[in-house]
């Protein structure tokens, strides 16, 4: 069964948030476990966690993905930012494992002011330090590809591969990847055309390894191909377009992955429309030969 869902805004409790995602048509979801723009994390009671588990079982909501806090920059060389980032990331790992999430999605970080090699080494050390002694349970850490705005790491597959390969040997939490369709396109991977999709998929296989890719963020792109602009658009209304998404959804490697929307959603209707759009495009791809 296709897994299609969205980044769900908090509806108070974890169980309530999951229930609302289901009401909007989702059978997988992503959440924040703390305010994404504040350093302090939140705590979840055992009762709240048990309620979430029950709701997920009853409504068949899987996987549960947690997105990490936007302020975290494990690549930073600034001692204050670094200490805070590692502490906060530790909290993200602990909470995601505790609530039974399958995945924690993390942006690799920004190399602003330092060499890329140093930034990558900082990220590895940061993940190692943050995950020391952690009981990961069923949690896998996913490094997300980025649009490459500013000095953002992760717009090149080689960087993501290097991070995974080095980190995987040093930590006891499994490490994989999350692909974001908007970020791919903005980083210069032309997934909007049949040839470009084929080439990008081959590169993903060669450099990242499809086995390590676990989640797709499904976002259309406001910015042009290679613009490095991280601006999400509703499905079919951006530069990737409906046909582009239809082909991505039908691709033999992409199609086995959960698709999670992070598109502009002012109202519940916006959310329903994008979920319906992805499901409709899945249907259509069955009737059209590639």
- Which amino acids are annotated catalytic? 37, 67, 70, 107, 144, 180, 183, 217, 230, 232, 262
Q: Smallest distance, Å, CB 66 to Zn ion? A: 13
The nearer residue to Zn ion, 55 or 235, going by C-beta atoms, is 235
Burial 257-271 (b: 16+ CB within 10 A, else e): bbbbbbbbbeeeebb
Which range in 17-25, 39-47, 122-130, 228-236 contacts Zn ion by CB under 5 A? Answer: 228-236
Select the residue whose beta carbon is closest to Zn ion and give its number.
217
x-or-dash string of contact with Zn ion, 45-74, rule CB under 5 A: ------------------------------
Beta strands in the chain (DSSP E): 4-7, 29-31, 64-67, 103-106, 140-144, 175-180, 213-218, 220-221, 232-233, 259-261
Query: In whole angstroms, what is the distance from residue 194 CA to residue 191 CA?
Result: 7
Q: How many residues bind Zn ion (CB under 5 A)?
A: 3
Q: Smallest distance, Å, CB 287 to Zn ion? A: 29
Q: Smallest distance, Å, CB 171 to Zn ion? A: 22
The nearer residue to Zn ion, 3 or 217, going by C-beta atoms, is 217
The nearer residue to Zn ion, 139 or 218, going by C-beta atoms, is 218
**Binder to Zn ion among 56, 217, 247, 251 (CB under 5 A)?**
217
Query: In whole angstroms, what is the distance from residue 231 CA to residue 208 CA?
Result: 24
Binding residues among 150-209 for Zn ion as defined by CB under 5 A? 180
Query: In whole angstroms, what is the distance from residue 102 CA to residue 118 CA?
Result: 30
CA 277 remoteness from chain centre: 20
The nearer residue to Zn ion, 231 or 279, going by C-beta atoms, is 231
The nearer residue to Zn ion, 68 or 230, going by C-beta atoms, is 230
Q: Smallest distance, Å, CB 281 to Zn ion? A: 19
DSSP alpha helix (H) spans, 6-115? 14-23, 46-59, 79-98
Compute the residue count for the chain. 290
Q: Smallest distance, Å, CB 169 to Zn ion? A: 26
If we measure between CA atoms, which residue out of 227, 216, 225, 89 comes closest to residue 148?
227
Other CB atoms within a 10 A radius of the CB of residue 13 amount to: 16
The nearer residue to Zn ion, 89 or 185, going by C-beta atoms, is 185
Bridge partners (DSSP) listed for residue 233: 220
Confirm or reject binding of residue 82 to Zn ion (CB under 5 A). no
Q: Report cis status (omega within 30 of 0) of the bond before 63.
A: yes
Confirm or reject binding of residue 222 to Zn ion (CB under 5 A). no
Q: Smallest distance, Å, CB 229 to Zn ion? A: 10
Q: How many CA atoms lie within 13 A of 150 on its CB side?
A: 8
Which range in 11-19, 123-131, 194-202, 230-238 contacts Zn ion by CB under 5 A? Answer: 230-238
Confirm or reject binding of residue 230 to Zn ion (CB under 5 A). yes
Three-state DSSP class for residue 218 = strand
Contacts with Zn ion, residue ranges (CB under 5 A) = 180, 217, 230
């Amino acid at each position: 069964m296709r897994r299609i869902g969205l980044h769900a805004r908090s509806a108070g409790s974890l169980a309530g948030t999951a229930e609302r995602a289901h009401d909007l048509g989702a059978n997988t979801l992503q959440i924040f476990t703390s305010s994404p723009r504040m350093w302090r994390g939140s705590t979840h009671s055992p009762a709240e966690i048990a309620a979430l588990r029950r709701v997920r079982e009853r409504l068949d909501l899987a996987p549960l993905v947690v997105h990490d806090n936007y302020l975290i920059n494990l690549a930073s060389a600034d001692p204050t930012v670094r200490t805070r980032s590692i502490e906060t990331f530790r909290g993200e790992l602990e909470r995601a494992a505790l609530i039974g999430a399958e995945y924690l999605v993390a942006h690799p970080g920004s190399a602003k002011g330092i060499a890329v090699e140093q930034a990558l080494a900082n990220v590895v050390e940061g993940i190692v330090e943050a995950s020391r002694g952690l009981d990961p349970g069923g949690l896998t850490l996913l490094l997300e590809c980025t649009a490459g705005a500013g000095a953002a790491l992760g717009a090149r597959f080689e960087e993501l591969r290097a991070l995974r390969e080095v980190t995987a040997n040093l930590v006891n939490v499994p490490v994989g990847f999350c692909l974001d369709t908007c970020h791919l396109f903005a980083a210069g991977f032309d997934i909007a055309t049949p040839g470009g999709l084929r080439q990008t998929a081959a590169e993903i296989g060669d450099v990242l390894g499809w086995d390590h890719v676990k989640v797709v963020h499904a976002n259309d792109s406001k910015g042009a191909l290679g613009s490095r602009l991280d601006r999400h658009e509703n499905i079919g209304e951006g530069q990737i377009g409906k046909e582009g998404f239809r082909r991505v959804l039908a691709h033999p490697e992409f199609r086995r992955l959960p698709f999670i929307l992070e598109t502009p959603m002012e109202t519940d209707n916006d959310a329903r429309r994008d979920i319906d759009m992805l499901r409709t495009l899945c249907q259509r791809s069955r009737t059209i030969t590639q």
